[in-house]
Amino acid sequence: MKKQVLTYVKPAKELQAGNLILTNRMTVVEVETTESFGNSHKRPCVEVSIMQGGRKAALIYLADDSVLVLE
């Protein structure tokens, strides 16, 4: 039996802890925390903390970037 996975696109500013996202390296990771900030050009950004291979990492997106979310 095949497992169905629901995927949709969401702006980075709407990500929440517990979301499963697809990274640019085609890896599925779980969002631990998100933090909004402005970069040096005053553009709204989001830092997404993830756990990958037992190591903490951070992904940075512009607030309106589209992110693929899996359920």
Q: Which domains does the chain have, with CATH numbers?
A: 7-70 (2.30.30.30)
- Tens digits of per-residue pLDDT, 12-57? 999 999 999 998 888 899 999 999 999 999 999 999 999 887 889 9
9 and 69 Cβ atoms separated by less than 8 Å: yes
Structure tokens at 29: 């990771």
Structure tokens at 22: 């697809």
Q: Would you place residue 4 in the very low, low, confident or very high pLDDT band (cuts 50, 70, 90)?
A: confident
24 and 66 Cβ atoms separated by less than 8 Å: no
